[in-house]
Amino acid sequence: MNAPIMSGAEPWSAAGGANGVLVLHGFTGNPQSMRPLAVALADAGFTVELPLLPGHGTSLEDMVPTRWDDWSGAAEAHFQALAARCDHVAVVGLSMGGALTCWLAERHPHLAGIAVVNPLVKAPDAEFRAGIQGLLDIGTETFDGIGSDIKKEGPVEAAYSGTPLAAVLSLFEGVDEVEAGLAGIHCPVLVLSSRDDHVVEPVSGDVLVAQVAGPVERIWLEDSYHVATLDNDAPLIEAKVVEFMLEVLGGPGGAAS
């Protein structure tokens, strides 16, 4: 049985127009990091779903056994549920949520568009992974946390204090699959990249921009670290993502069915 959901980490949704946006959080994080962006999209009139991905938002122990198939399976299920009640759907994600966003776009050519913030689409090299495997081999299940990489004084990401190592290796395998399929993304893509990111190398954004087949716009975030949705550039991100979604979805649409 999983631990209770942490305060502020709850999934969130809003009923709006007939066009919907799925919002996906990052690895070891939870909806708290994406809530302001989700609210901005809802305020623009969209139907919005911001789910809590498996193993997240409760306790680190709950995340230890989860894998890429769990997170991608949940993203697919929430996408299908949103698409079933909306005319058109777009997706936005942060970090691992960005990888899942691309994964969905590779599988659903009818997606109206995707927006990604510091997406992970280029996993670390074999040497880095071997180091993680070495820790697992001696019985180390978790390592230091990667959350709350925020430049702005004050805001804190409600992420886990540790990183589950087997889960992160599974994440990298999933990201390998995503990278291999980037040329299959034909919808419009908005990429928002922090110049200074201590969690995901900016090369991930470079790879995404270079390989997707659809039209791409990249915006550099000059005053934020990895969790940019809670950082100094959050107002810029919200404005640009809302503007992008209004364009690719043709507005929020009429009443949702």
Active site residues: 95, 197, 226
Instruction: Give which of 201, 140, 204, 212 is closest to 169, Cα–Cα.
Output: 140
User: How far apart, in whole angstroms, are the C-alpha atoms of residue 8 and residue 25?
Assistant: 13
Largest CA distance in the chain: 57
**φ, ψ at 131 (rounded to 5°):** -65, -40
Alpha carbons within 13 angstroms on the beta-carbon side of residue 229 total 32
Kind plus residue range of the DSSP H or E element containing 244 = helix 234-249
User: In terms of Cα–Cα distance, which of 31, 49, 102, 32 is closest to 72?
Assistant: 102
CB–CB of 144/28 below 8 Å? no
Beta strands at 19-24 and 47-50: parallel, antiparallel or unpaired: parallel
